[in-house]
C-alpha cells in the first residue's frame, strides 16, 4: 500500500485520537491516562511496547522485514497549565489544563504512524523506535527516556512540532540551529530592612534589585559576540511587604536563550558577577542559581537534506517553508547531543478554521485535516532512511 493510500486510511483515526487527547490533557509527569490510552492503541495494533521514562513514557518498536539501521521517531505527550477558551466540542475536560502547544496532535500523529508502519513493516530494512515522551514542558522527559535506554543502538532521531505560524501543510527544515536553549536563573537578593523614614539605617533591596536588572541587560549587549543571537529576560520580581517598610529581601527570576553552546556557557558567570558586584555597591548580597534546562536544538545537515527530500515526495515540491529561527526551546536537543537528529516545524495555521492563535494561547487551534500529512511525512522519512 502506498503512502497516499495509507494516509487516506488513517485520516479519520488520527483526528479521533487527537480529539480524545485534546479533551483529556495532563501536565508533565502526570500523563497517566494519556499513557494508558497510548498503550491501549498500540496493543490493538499488535505493536510491542515497554514503559520508558518517568513512569508515563512509552517506547514502541517495529521490526522491519530485513535487518538494517535503527531510527527513532519522537513526539511529546504533556499539556500546559492553561485554561482553554476555544469553545470546541472536544475542549479540555480538565479545568486549568490544555493542550495549548499541540502535543495532542503529536500523540495522534505518532499513533497513526505506528499503524501505517506496522502495515508495511515487511518492506522495511531496519527497526523503528517510537518514543511517546512525557514532560517536555518541564525539560525532564528526554533525559528520563535516555536514562532508560531509549537511544540504545539508535542511528538517527526525528521529531516534528506542529506550528501555528506556518501555513497548513508546509514544513520548515533548517540545517544547524533550529531552536534555542532555554535556561532559568534565580537571584535571591538580601539587604537590611527597616522603617521607610530611615533609609540611611537600611540597605534597600528595591533600588538594588532595579540596578541588578538594568545591569543584566548589558550581558547580551556588551558581553556576547554581536554576531550571535541571545536573549536574557527577567520574568518576575518579588520584593517588599508594606508601603512604609524598606524591603530587606527580594527575588528575581528569568530565562536565557541562545543558539550556541559556547554562548550558553557564558551566562552563569556573567549573571553571578554582575548581580553580586551590583548588590555589593548597594551594601547588599546575592545568591544566584542557574538551572540549565534544555540545550539548543541543532539539526544534522545531512539528515535534514533527507527530510526535505522526503517531505517533497509527500507534500509536493512547494512544501518547504523558510521559517526563521525561534527562541523557543525543546528538550529534543538532548537527543541530538548523543546522535544525529532533526527537529522540523509542521504548519497547522489556517484562517479558514480559526487556526491563527499562537502556541500556548488559550484559543490555540490547528487545521486537523493537515495532520495526516505530518504522519505521512514521518512514514516517508522512515522509508527513505532505512531503505534508501
Nearest Cα to Cα of residue 307 among 375, 386, 388, 378: 378
pLDDT of 1 above 80:
no
Predicted confidence at residue 362, as pLDDT, reads 98
Ramachandran category for residue 335: left, alpha or beta (phi over 0 → left; psi -120 to 50 → alpha):
alpha
CA–CA distance, 284 with 246 (Å, rounded to integer): 13
Secondary element (H or E) of residue 312: helix 301-315
Question: Which whole number is the average pLDDT over 47-69?
Answer: 97
CA–CA distance, 115 with 41 (Å, rounded to integer): 9
Domain 3-180+295-387: which topology? Aminopeptidase (3.40.630)
CA–CA distance, 129 with 48 (Å, rounded to integer): 10
**Segments making up each domain of the chain, as ranges:** 3-180+295-387, 182-293
Question: Which whole number is the average pLDDT over 278-289?
Answer: 98
Whether the Cβ atoms of residue 9 and residue 78 lie closer than 8 Å to each other:
no
pLDDT digits (tens, 9 = 90+) for 117-152: 999 999 999 999 999 999 999 999 999 999 999 999
Task: Identify the architecture of domain 182-293 in CATH.
Answer: 2-Layer Sandwich (3.30)
pLDDT digits (tens, 9 = 90+) for 145-157: 999 999 999 999 9
pLDDT digits (tens, 9 = 90+) for 340-355: 999 999 999 999 999 9
Predicted confidence at residue 263, as pLDDT, reads 97
pLDDT of 374 above 80:
yes
pLDDT of 192 above 80:
yes
pLDDT tier, 69 (very low <50, low <70, confident <90, very high otherwise): very high
pLDDT digits (tens, 9 = 90+) for 74-103: 999 999 999 999 999 999 999 999 999 999
pLDDT of 388 above 90:
no
Buried b or exposed e, range 279-296, using 16+ CB within 10 angstroms: beebebebebeeeeebbb
Whether the Cβ atoms of residue 288 and residue 274 lie closer than 8 Å to each other:
no
Predicted confidence at residue 164, as pLDDT, reads 95
Buried b or exposed e, range 70-85, using 16+ CB within 10 angstroms: bbbbbbbbbbbebebe
Nearest Cα to Cα of residue 284 among 231, 206, 221, 216: 206
- C-alpha of 317 from chain center: 28
Q: In what order do the strands lie in the sheet with 285-294?
A: 230-239, 249-258, 182-190, 285-294
Decide if 3-180+295-387 and 182-293 have a common fold. Answer: no
Nearest Cα to Cα of residue 211 among 187, 193, 243, 179: 187
Helix (H, G, I), strand (E, B) or coil at 319: coil
Stated pTM of the model? 0.93
Q: Hey, what's the cell of 313?
A: 515526495
Give percent above pLDDT 90 in the chain.
99
Average of per-residue pLDDT values in the chain: 97
Amino acid at each position: 500500500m502506498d503512502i497516499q493510500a495509507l494516509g487516506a486510511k488513517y485520516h479519520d483515526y488520527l483526528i479521533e485520537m487527537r480529539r480524545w487527547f485534546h479533551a483529556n490533557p495532563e501536565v508533565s509527569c502526570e500523563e497517566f491516562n494519556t499513557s494508558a490510552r497510548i498503550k491501549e492503541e498500540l496493543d490493538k495494533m499488535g505493536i510491542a511496547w515497554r514503559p520508558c521514562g518517568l513512569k508515563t513514557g512509552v517506547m514502541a518498536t517495529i521490526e522491519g522485514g530485513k535487518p538494517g539501521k535503527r531510527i527513532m521517531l519522537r513526539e511529546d505527550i504533556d499539556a500546559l497549565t492553561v485554561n482553554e477558551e476555544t469553545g470546541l466540542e472536544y475542549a479540555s475536560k480538565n479545568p486549568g489544563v490544555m493542550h495549548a502547544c499541540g502535543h495532542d496532535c503529536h500523540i495522534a500523529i505518532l499513533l497513526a504512524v505506528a499503524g501505517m508502519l506496522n502495515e508495511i513493516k515487511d518492506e522495511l530494512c531496519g527497526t523503528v523506535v517510537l518514543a511517546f515522551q512525557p514532560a517536555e514542558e518541564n525539560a525532564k522527559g528526554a533525559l528520563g527516556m535516555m536514562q532508560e535506554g531509549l537511544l540504545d543502538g539508535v542511528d538517527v532521531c526525528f521529531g516534528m512540532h506542529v506550528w501555528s505560524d506556518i501555513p497548513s501543510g508546509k514544513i520548515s527544515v533548517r540545517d544547524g540551529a533550529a531552536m534555542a536553549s532555554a535556561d532559568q536563573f534565580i537571584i535571591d537578593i538580601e539587604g537590611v530592612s527597616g522603617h521607610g523614614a530611615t533609609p540611611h539605617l537600611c540597605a534597600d533591596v528595591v533600588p538594588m534589585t532595579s540596578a541588578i536588572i538594568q545591569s543584566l541587560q548589558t550581558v547580551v549587549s556588551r558581553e556576547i559576540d554581536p554576531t550571535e543571537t541571545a536573549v536574557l529576560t527577567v520574568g518576575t520580581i518579588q520584593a517588599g511587604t508594606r508601603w512604609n517598610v524598606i524591603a530587606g529581601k527580594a527575588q528575581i527570576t528569568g530565562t536565557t536563550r541562545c543558539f550556541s553552546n559556547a554562548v550558553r556557557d557564558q551566562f552563569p558567570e556573567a549573571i553571578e558577577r554582575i548581580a553580586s558586584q551590583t548588590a555589593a555597591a548597594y551594601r547588599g548580597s546575592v545568591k544566584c542559581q542557574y538551572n540549565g534546562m534544555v540545550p539548543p536544538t541543532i539539526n544534522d545537515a545531512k539528515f535534514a537534506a533527507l527530510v526535505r527530500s522526503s517531505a517533497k515526495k509527500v507534500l509536493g515540491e512547494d512544501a518547504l517553508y523558510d521559517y526563521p529561527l525561534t527562541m523557543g526551546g525543546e528538550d529534543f536537543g538532548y537527543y541530538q547531543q548523543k546522535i544525529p537528529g532533526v527537529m522540523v516545524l509542521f504548519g497547522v495555521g489556517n484562517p479558514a478554521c480559526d487556526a491563527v492563535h499562537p502556541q500556548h494561547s488559550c484559543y490555540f487551534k490547528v487545521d486537523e485535516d493537515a495532520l495526516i500529512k505530518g504522519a505521512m511525512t514521518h512514514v516517508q522519512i522512515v522509508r527513505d532512511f532505512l531503505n534508501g
